Amino acid sequence: MPALSVIPDDLPPSIVESIITQIKDYQANHGSLIKVIGSETENSVLLHPIGVSVFPTLFPRKLFDTAIELQHIYNELYCKVAEDEEWLSTTTRALRKQEPLIDALWTVHEEVERRRRGNGTMRYPRQEVSAGVFRSDYMLHHHQDHDSDGDSDEKNWMENVSLKQVEFNAYSCAGGSHANKVVDMHRYLTRTNVYDFELEQTENRQTRNNICVNLSSLPRNRTIHGIASVLASAHAMYGPPKSCQHPTAVLMVVQPNNFNITDERPIEYALWNWEEGGCPIPTYRVEWQDVLQYTSLAETGELLFHPNQGRAGRKSVEVSVVYHRAGYETKEYADEVGMEIRIRLELSRAIKCPSILGHITTAKKVQQALVVPDVLERWLAPDRAGRIRETFFNTYPLDNSTPTGVRGRELATNLLAADNYILKPSLEGGGHNIYGSDIPRFLDGIPEAQWSAYILMERIRSPRDIYNVLMSSDGIVADEVVSELGIFGTCLWKSTNSRNGGSNCEVILNNVGGWSFKTKDALVDEMSVVKGYGCFDTPCLVDTSN
Amino acid sequence: MPALSVIPDDLPPSIVESIITQIKDYQANHGSLIKVIGSETENSVLLHPIGVSVFPTLFPRKLFDTAIELQHIYNELYCKVAEDEEWLSTTTRALRKQEPLIDALWTVHEEVERRRRGNGTMRYPRQEVSAGVFRSDYMLHHHQDHDSDGDSDEKNWMENVSLKQVEFNAYSCAGGSHANKVVDMHRYLTRTNVYDFELEQTENRQTRNNICVNLSSLPRNRTIHGIASVLASAHAMYGPPKSCQHPTAVLMVVQPNNFNITDERPIEYALWNWEEGGCPIPTYRVEWQDVLQYTSLAETGELLFHPNQGRAGRKSVEVSVVYHRAGYETKEYADEVGMEIRIRLELSRAIKCPSILGHITTAKKVQQALVVPDVLERWLAPDRAGRIRETFFNTYPLDNSTPTGVRGRELATNLLAADNYILKPSLEGGGHNIYGSDIPRFLDGIPEAQWSAYILMERIRSPRDIYNVLMSSDGIVADEVVSELGIFGTCLWKSTNSRNGGSNCEVILNNVGGWSFKTKDALVDEMSVVKGYGCFDTPCLVDTSN
């Protein structure tokens, strides 16, 4: 069977080389780069192009559109879960012993509540509005028996695949800027005829002529604008400065020495260059460990940022929105300073993107708990619940107190059964999963009490024969590939007290902020471009035959 | 005397460090980078930020405006000189023996004329229109005796300086894209309050409060658009394809392995993204050594470019404009292939940016010859000639057949006198000049017959005490600095046969395309950012007191 791709079989290597040259130069000119780790000095730094696909990769248009539509339901769901403290607590409470990050977040939450209600009066007013930048990641799952081949062709392929959710990220979602830049690049290359192969038609040519790259098959992607937009909306919603002294500004809390700065900075540039509404949105950055030094909490809860360590005369600002791009690693909460950093940010009346409870929703345990029958209906109308449930895949906890947990343990400890599963810890970012037959040995090596910090998820069986050429600083690979589509959801929601006294949620803004499309060699398990496991890519949308 | 700069004397180092961090990240995101020489592999390349000033450097607004105005006169002059073959030939003929590049260019011109008139018929139609991207470089010259100091202050400084032309470049002018990006950066940093120093006012503070950076003191710079614009105009002027078969396109002829690709590519991107007139302008690149392989000359003179080595089916284009960014080094014409490359390009009916005679005008010998009294009036009205003559500085040839040549030789061979001069070869690019007391020894070391390949130019005495912080991959220097302002002229002109049978010139388009502003440590002689001798910068325009 011929490979499914936009690359003609008889494309001369010289053309591929020429495209690669153009890609490297485009990346150099458009910040599609990452810093070489350890290369930064006071006065300079080395960068190299981030991994990208040389060609767009085929993807069914219908499923791309579906993923975009579903994001509105996922947004609603996660806004509501973030305001459902009771359910979140019940679901993740058991994890606190095994997972120090989850424990730290709950501790922050409890301490914030304690201080807020301190000495009887409501000392710090609660910020009722929260913001979210989510990313729901999908892969294509192939329903046909994967080993019976032969008659599968392109149409067949597209009719037998569905979207399955790999994970849902609710905190510090990265990759949006790079995804935006790479789509701009593939669209630029298309527009300049780089993929316009009018090759000789020969008798034995096997290329499918109906798959060609054109602008209408490459969707636009404005993720940088989308993320900036929700922060701008939150900034506007915060309103005038409460302190009546300092102008308001967005504060981006970042990790130090981030080699992936070209993903973070564009959000900041977009806000300073913001034209909708007629004026720029002041945006500052503070590194996580410097938060206590550079900020202060006013008596009435305003978070003040002092760009220059409070040096006299240097303008301070009142923070309207805290945009979290740090605080997702256990080590960041390892001492009292780390805890106090997050407590100060959370206690303030700034709008948090997201709130501490919003952060907790990103735990894999939450994702697993949502798969349990009838759970979604706690927040969603049945038809909406049904639609996103179609993207769920078999997922098990590893506790020993529930039937599904017991079943999960059985599967995970059986060498043969485990081969069809992935073991995922409740940590963020790629690179921590355990795959297939490695699972039983891995579980053997850790105390059984820690097992419940993991979830077991059935492996998605990607369609085969999708082909592309991937390039990165590690090399060039021409092979079968697997793609992952991440849809960025951007939301604002408001905490409302419902009649029965519990907290409830009003979704104020529910948008799709953009998307990312990442592709890796089919032989590699992990997907993390900055760690070298994949490439940013653009889907070449293909219509189904009917 | 306090230093003249926008930097408060008591600015804490931590603020400078914070600005430098922002600069590196801005550069990484906006292509203000250069490739690390030798680092490029098939799949990757290393880049680092190009040298830039940390702060804008003071410059008198009046002289900045003057340089912009004068460019229109310089444009007119060089368009006309490029069409004055008789004068050009007389002026540079003697150089052909000493300077192989000049000889190669004249040989190309003669061969093109011979082939064009070949076998009696006018086989290849002449393209009457030429385009030019020029750059006139100036430094500030301080009229006061440089060693008497003490009472000089800021006003004094500005009243005692004038613009002196360092050189005029008429071929393959680089640096425009970088200059554009760095000005965008300094303006961005200003807009985001990075230079907004509201520091403590103390008794002994010596900072001049009237020098502060704001957007109205940093002129906008759109050189990328300016250069693209003259190419777009030339493309439009070429009109529909003569071959009636292939669409027209701009062809950029480039050197291979250019580590300064971030200066070249933006012109190409700007043309493909061209929105004025409603459609993109197809633009292709060809490396110098590949010209004969990838192009062909039609019977009727059209230059056809075959993007894929003429592979069947791959679209060829008819070249409307040849934009030269190669062909300025002697070695490029060292063999018959090199000569044939330039002959083919020149012989074609494409509009050349610039023509071969336009190229010859860039020789330093031409610059020196224009300084001779009454010469400018050959092309310019006396008042216009007078205005640009004010920017000329003492310049001598080194021949032994004219009184100025004899004087030049006297000065150049006298150790004491030579100290006030620079010896410049007729080569392009920085790094080849001989300075001051090194001149006599250098001339001693080469045959006297080669002396006439050089011109001797009085050294410009830059105002002292201008201060800045410069950063590059070599390090950070905080010191007295010297700046060079280059104004980009963009022109179209037409060759017209005047009544007396000679060639004449009609200037069709005479614009300022932008500018570059480069700053170096005052202790360094050369100015070439890509060679590490300076930094791109933005002038902080200061008004004179009256």
Domain with A242, as residue range(s), is: 13-393+460-542
Return the top range by mean pLDDT from A131-145, A148-162, B198-212: A131-145
Say if A312 is an interface residue toward chain B (CB within 8 Å).
Answer: yes
Task: Identify the pLDDT of residue A212.
Answer: 81
Q: What percent of chain B has pLDDT over 70?
A: 89
pLDDT band of residue B537 (cuts 50, 70, 90) is: very high
Residue B264 phi, psi (nearest 5): -85, -45
Task: Name which residue leads in pLDDT, A430 or B121.
Answer: B121
Rounded to a whole number of angstroms, the distance from the CA of A115 to the nearest CA of chain B is 34
Tell whether B193 is within 8 A of chain A (Cβ). Answer: yes
Band (pLDDT 50/70/90 cuts) for residue A121 is low
Query: Based on the domain organization, do B161 and B298 belong to the same domain?
Result: yes
A523 touches chain B (CB under 8 A): no
Closest in B12, B28, B262 to A45, CB measured:
B28
Tell me, yes or no, whether A288 and A304 share the same domain.
yes
Mutate to test the interface with A, among B20, B45, B196 (most CBs of A within 10 A): B45
Residues A416, A114 contacting (CB under 8 angstroms): no
Asked whether residue B412 falls in the same domain as residue B521, the answer is no
Structure token digits, residue A327: 């605080």
Q: What is the distance in angstroms between the Cα of A71 and the nearest Cα belonging to chain B? A: 29
Question: Is A43 known as a binding-site position?
Answer: no
Confidence of residue A465 (pLDDT cuts 50, 70, 90): confident
Instruction: Tell whether the model's pLDDT for residue A199 goes beyond 80.
Output: no
pLDDT at A245 over 90: no
**Does some domain include residue B43?**
yes
Same domain, A443 and A465: no
- pLDDT attached to residue B501: 47
Contacts of A28 in chain B (CB under 8 A): 31, 33, 35, 45, 47, 261-262, 265
CA–CA separation, B328 and A383 (whole Å): 70
> Which residues 154-173 of B have a C-beta within 8 angstroms of A?
none
Q: Within an 8 Å CB–CB cutoff, is residue B222 touching chain A?
A: no
- Residue A388 pLDDT greater than 70, yes or no: yes
- Spatial distance between the Cα atoms of B222 and B515, rounded to a whole number of angstroms: 8
Chain B environment of A192 (Cβ under 8 Å): 272, 280, 282
In a domain, A6, yes or no: no
**Cβ contact B48–A47 (<8 Å):** yes
Average pLDDT over residues A273-282: 90
- Residue A271: count other Cβ atoms within 10 Å of its Cβ: 24
Across residues A249-262, what is the average pLDDT? 96
A454 domain-assigned: yes
Burial of A307 per CB tally in 10 Å (0-12, 13-18, 19+) = buried
How far is B489 from chain A, CA to nearest CA, in Å?
24
Same domain as B273, residue B235: yes
Res A14: pLDDT: 87
- A423 and A326, same structural domain? no
A428 and A502 together in one domain: no
Task: Identify the weakest region by mean pLDDT among A344-358, A418-432, B120-134, B407-421.
Answer: A418-432
HSE-up (13 A, CA, CB side) for residue B164: 19
Counting one residue from chain A and one from chain B, the pairs whose CB atoms sit within 8 A come to 142
* pLDDT attached to residue A143: 84
Average model confidence (pLDDT) for chain B? 89
For residue A249, what is the nearest residue in chain B, using CA coordinates?
Answer: B192
Question: How close does chain A come to B26, measured CA to CA in Å?
Answer: 8
Same domain, B449 and B464: no
Answer whether residue B337 is part of any domain.
Answer: yes
Residue A315 tokens read as 């303008």
**Mutation site for B-interface testing, chosen from A43, A50, A286 by largest number of B Cβ within 10 Å:** A43
Q: What is the pLDDT of residue A314?
A: 58
Choose one of B426, B444, B459: the last residue of a domain. B459
**How much is the pLDDT for A330?**
93
Q: Is the peptide bond before B280 cis (omega within 30 degrees of 0)?
A: no
Is A484 annotated as ligand-binding? yes
Per-residue pLDDT at A146 exceeds 80: no
pLDDT at A209: 41
Residues B338 and B442 in one domain: no
CA-based nearest residue in chain B for residue A28: B31
Tell me whether residue B419 is in a domain: yes
B66: tokens are 């003057």
Instruction: Give B266's contacts in chain A (Cβ within 8 Å).
Output: 29
Cα B12 to chain center, whole Å? Answer: 37
**Integer-rounded Cα radius of gyration of chain B:** 24
The whole-angstrom separation of Cα B259 and Cα B33 is 10
The reported pLDDT for the residue numbered A546 is 46
Confirm whether A238 is domain-assigned: yes
Q: Is the pLDDT of residue B383 over 80?
A: yes
Using one digit for the tens of pLDDT, what is the confidence trace for B240-251?
A: 998 877 899 999
pLDDT digits (tens, 9 = 90+) for A356-387: 999 999 998 999 899 999 999 999 999 999 99
Residue A164 assigned to a binding site = no
Strand, helix or coil at A7? Answer: coil
> Is residue B20 scored above 50 in pLDDT?
yes
Highest mean pLDDT among B154-168, B240-254, B306-320: B240-254
pLDDT band at residue A503 under the 50/70/90 scheme: low
Task: Indicate which of B26, B29, B198 best probes the interface with A, i.e. most A CBs within 10 Å of its own CB.
Answer: B29
Residues 6+ apart with CB under 8 A from A52: A23, A27, A32, A182, A185, A470, A471, A472, A535, A536, A537
Identify the residue whose tokens are 């430094």. B139
The predicted pLDDT at position B527 comes to 67
Are A60 and A78 found together in one domain?
yes
Let me know if residue A295 belongs to a domain.
yes
Show which of residues 463-502 on chain A sit within 8 Å of chain B, judged by CB atoms: 471-476
B108 plus B204 within the same structural domain: yes
**Beta strands of A129-222 (E only): which ranges?**
129-142, 161-169
Given B420, B439, B459, which residue is the final one in a domain? B459
Instruction: Convert the pLDDT of each residue in A122-143 to its tens digit.
Output: 678 899 999 999 999 999 999 8
Residues 6+ apart with CB under 8 A from B146: B461, B464
Most confident of A13-17, A177-181, B156-160, B464-468: A177-181
Residue A149 has pLDDT above 70, yes or no: no
Q: Is the pLDDT of residue B2 over 90?
A: no
Q: In the predicted model, what is the mean pLDDT of chain A?
A: 89
B349 and B303 in contact (C-beta within 8 Å)?
Answer: yes
B293 touches A at CB < 8 Å: no
Total count of domains within chain B: 2
In-domain check, residue A7: no
pLDDT band at B155 (very low <50, low <70, confident <90, very high): low
Report the alpha-carbon distance of residue B66 to residue A188 in Å, rounded: 39
By CA distance, what is B54's nearest residue in A?
Answer: A43
Q: What is the mean pLDDT of residues A491-517?
A: 86
**Residues of A with Cβ-Cβ distance to B475 under 8 angstroms:** 43
Asked if residue B48 lies in contact with residue B33, where contact means CB atoms within 8 angstroms, the answer is yes
Residue A203 contacts B, CB cutoff 8 Å: no
Our CA-based measurement puts residue A331 at a distance from the nearest CA of chain B, in whole angstroms, of 25
Residue matched to tokens 């810093």: A35
Q: Which residue has the tokens 């981006």?
A: A252
B308 touching chain A per CB within 8 A? yes
Domain boundary among B459, B476, B491: B459
Contacting residues of B for A44, CB less than 8 Å apart: 24, 48-49, 471-473
pLDDT at B146 over 80: no
What CATH number is attached to the domain comprising B445?
A: 3.30.1490.50
Together in a domain, A95 and A237: yes
Q: Quick one: pLDDT band at residue B401, thresholds 50, 70, 90?
A: confident
Is B223 a residue whose pLDDT tops 50? Answer: yes
Q: Give me the residues of B, 5-44, that contact A with CB < 8 A.
A: 12, 14-15, 17-18, 20, 24-26, 28-31, 33, 35-36, 40, 42-44
Q: What pLDDT is stored for residue B154 in this prediction?
A: 56
User: What pLDDT is recorded for position B312?
Assistant: 46
pLDDT value, residue B499: 52
Residue B272 at interface with chain A, using a CB cutoff of 8 Å = yes
Give the C-alpha separation, B353 to B344, whole Å. Answer: 14
Q: Identify which of A46-55, A146-155, A421-430, B209-218 has the greatest average pLDDT.
A: A46-55
